Amino acid sequence: MNDDTLNLIYGAVDDVNAQSADGPKIAKNEDSRLLGGGSGLDSLTFVNLIVAIEGQLEPLLGKAVLLIDDDNLSLMEDPFRTIGTLRQYVEKVIERAQAA
């Protein structure tokens, strides 16, 4: 797996954590739960994380990428469980965007 992808996600986590001064913070490790029981993420924090990742992908790829669309979501089951599954998913989305 690519450390650059993990660093990109961690950069987005830093952005979201900075915006959420009083709310729960997202821990920067691959086992951190994003969705599901015990995650601590509310829907707004999750959406902010996805938008922050998309914002970091755009200059990298030179085009806008949507992480949550039917085509990309078909790449992997449950891509938003943990930071680790999100990392795998983002790598697949990047590969698909670069091939297009």
Number of independent structural domains in the chain = 1
Residue 56 sits in a domain of what CATH number?
1.10.1200.10
CA dihedral 75, 61, 14, 9 (to 10 degrees): 30
Q: With 0-12 CB in 10 A as exposed, 13-18 as middle and 19+ as buried, what is 28?
A: middle
> What pLDDT digit, counting tens, does each position of 1-58 carry?
578 999 999 999 999 999 887 777 899 999 999 987 766 688 888 999 999 999 999 9
Q: pTM score > 0.85 for this model?
A: yes
Which among 66, 82, 81 is positioned nearest to 27, based on CA atoms? 82
Domain holding 7, by residue range, is: 3-20+28-99
